Amino acid sequence: TKSLKTPSNLFIFNQALLDLCMMVNMPMLVVNSFYQRVIGWETGCDIYGLFGSISGFGSAMNNAVIAYDRYRTIAFPIDGRLSMGKAFILMCFVWFWALPFSLSPMKSVDLFGKYVP
């Protein structure tokens, strides 16, 4: 409905997407913990690390963006609301901030080393 299409709810939707990334990662976490090693060799380790770090970095940054949105709403009650465009830019910033840190340890990029289970 139209009443739910607010900038604040865009951040909640973004958090739901990041939580879905963590949900995709959880079966691999359980299997890896059960066998006490990484299943799927190097590619499995890369995928496991990618989803885990995207959801971790992204959730942390998204919580900071939600806190900023709440701060603006409380500190500036008259004109503190974010527009839909600014909220979308902040949501894109969360993803673009999480992706380089998540992609860099993969074997194809390998800037800072590899994922370690």
CA angle 26, 32, 34 (to 5 degrees): 105
Task: Answer whether residue 58 is part of any domain.
Answer: yes
Model confidence over 60-96: pLDDT tens digits? 999 999 999 999 989 988 887 888 899 999 999 999 9
CATH of the domain at 83: 1.20.1070.10
- pTM attached to this predicted model: 0.79
Task: Answer whether residue 16 is part of any domain.
Answer: yes
Domain count, the chain: 1
Alpha carbon distance 44, 52 (integer Å): 12
CA angle 15, 18, 19 (to 5 degrees): 85
Task: Answer whether residue 115 is part of any domain.
Answer: no
Task: Answer whether residue 112 is part of any domain.
Answer: no
Task: Answer whether residue 8 is part of any domain.
Answer: yes
Domain that holds residue 85: 2-103
Amino acid at 34: F
Model confidence over 2-60: pLDDT tens digits? 777 888 889 999 999 999 988 888 888 788 788 877 777 777 777 778 888 889 999 99
